[in-house]
Amino acid sequence: MSAVVIANWKMHGSGSALSAFANQWQALSDQPLPNVDVVLCPPGVYAQRAQQLLPQLALGAQDCAPEAEGAYTGDISAPMLADLGCSWVIVGHSERRQGHGETDALVAQKARAAANAGLTAVVCVGESLEQRQGGSQEQVVSAQLQGSLQGLAAGEFVVAYEPIWAIGTGHTATPEQANSMHEHIRQTLVQLLGSRGSDIALLYGGSVKPDNAGELFACPNIDGALVGGASLMADSFYAIAKAASESGRT
Ligand code: PEP
């Protein structure tokens, strides 16, 4: 499977920041990066402009509604995102689980809505610092997977393991910690989905930077990254995408 590297801009950026990013990306990427899917998830209001300025990147969204349409003020549906040209959508990011009270059941509905619209869902899971310190990280992540993947089939989603204590903190999980959790996630996916669970890309997220990306991608169970802060600058996101491209996945 190809590597996957996804930029999550969260609620950062502006029209001019997007133009500057696009100019810098063009200057860096004179040749396409082989064996890696590079995805940009800007704030939704900039999605169309991102697609015009950066047609060489796949377009993604940071969230979608669980319903396809209706009286849901402020929500954006998965079919609308597909209509806009998105092919990926992040669901269940810890900032939405924590800040918006999203449950595994809701994440599963959103992921189902995404798949129904032909989008690949990026289903995020990850434990808190307290849970890791208490040694329950594997049970926590298994339970999140079981709840958040209800009704999904292999081929409709990828998983992003994002330990909450590593997001935006500068404290990356060590390659050993990340790889070991990815191995656990792989086993859980095989239990849930049978042998097709082996084909699902597992991304790591949490303070990925150009200087740690190579060692993370060298781990056998890490197929890519979901990148927050370091994706806001074209040079650092490009360096991460290049490391993924050179990681030997095909
Ligand atoms: C994220 O937002 O999903 C993330 C991993 O952020 P950061 O890379 O800044 O830790």
Q: Are 189 and 201 in contact (CB under 8 A)?
A: no
- Burial readout 149-176 (b: 16 or more C-beta within 10 A, e: otherwise): beebebebbbbbbbbbbbbeeeebbebe
What pLDDT, on a 0 to 100 scale, did the predictor assign at position 248? 87
Single out the catalytic residue among 156, 162, 182, 184: 162
Measured CA to CA, the distance from residue 151 to residue 186 in angstroms comes to: 18
d(CA 137, ligand 1 centre) in Å: 19
Cα of 25 from ligand 1 centre, angstroms: 20
Domains of the chain with CATH codes: 3-245 (3.20.20.70)
Catalytic residue among 93, 102, 182, 184: 93
Residues lining ligand 1, CB < 6 A? Answer: 8, 10, 162, 167-168, 205-208, 226-230
**Cβ-Cβ contacts under 8 Å for 180 (sequence gap 6 or more):** none
- Yes or no: say if 97 and 127 are a contact pair by the CB < 8 Å rule: no
Give the pLDDT confidence of 107-148 residue by residue, as tens digits: 999 999 999 999 999 999 999 999 999 999 999 999 999 999
Q: Quick one: CA torsion of 240, 244, 247, 250, rounded to 10 degrees?
A: -170
pLDDT in tens, 200-211: 999 999 999 999
- Tell me the C-alpha to C-alpha distance, in Å, between residue 119 and each of 57, 58, 61, 123: 15, 11, 10, 12
Residues 6 or more apart whose Cβ sits within 8 Å of residue 103: 97, 147
Q: What percent of the chain has pLDDT over 90?
A: 94
* Residue 183 among the catalytic residues: no
Q: Are residues 244 and 224 in contact, defined by beta-carbon separation less than 8 angstroms? A: yes
Tens digits of residue pLDDT in 53-103: 999 999 999 999 999 999 999 999 999 999 999 999 999 999 999 999 999
